[in-house]
Amino acid sequence: MKKLAIYPGTFDPITFGHLDVIQRACELFDVVIVAVLENAAKTPLFSKEERVEMIKEAVKSIPNAEVDVFDGLLVEYAKQKGAIAIIRGLRAVSDFEYEFQMALMNRKISDGITTVFLMPHEKYTYLNSSIVRELARLNANVDDFVPEFVAKKLKEKFKKN
């Protein structure tokens, strides 16, 4: 039986920090599904289709990474996919409290699914999608933070607005 993990997130847009966590998770699990959250409460810059397209391009060289979209309760989605783990990236201590609470709640709902915390490389600990979007909106160079095709999509998006 393959060991499958889910790496959920909004990925608006995907960053080198996300990719670092995906790569690390793919070294630990047979299959990692990068699951794009479709959340009505959030208003992402990119549509779910655009985010999926960017993630697929970003992970195309990682053979055991897959991309999917989900809405609703993460643990239910994970059970439906047959996952044994949920991957969460921790950048800083400030992430820990929220992620710890979510991990305990997920365990309470489904104790067969373990939350695995992975830290990205230290050069990405300050990086998040919100910062990247803001930099791109202000016409700053984001090439050090996202793949080239994502930087291009950000430029296109902000030229329209």
121 is catalytic: no
Set 24, 51, 88, 129: catalytic member: 129
152 is catalytic: no
Residue 118's φ and ψ, nearest 5 degrees, are -125, 135
pLDDT class of 90 with cuts at 50, 70, 90: confident
Q: Which domain holds residue 107?
A: 4-160
Set 48, 79, 81, 91: catalytic member: 91
pLDDT at 86: 96
Residues 6+ apart with CB under 8 A from 121: 20
61 is catalytic: no
57 and 46 in contact (C-beta within 8 Å)? no
18 is catalytic: yes
Give the pLDDT confidence of 17-49 residue by residue, as tens digits.
Answer: 999 999 999 999 999 999 999 876 778 999 999
Q: What is the CATH number of the domain that holds 85?
A: 3.40.50.620
Average pLDDT, rounded, for the chain: 92
Give the pLDDT confidence of 97-137 residue by residue, as tens digits.
Answer: 888 888 888 888 888 899 999 988 888 888 899 999 999 99
Please state the domain count of the chain: 1
Closest-CA residue to 124 (of 1, 8, 5, 14): 14
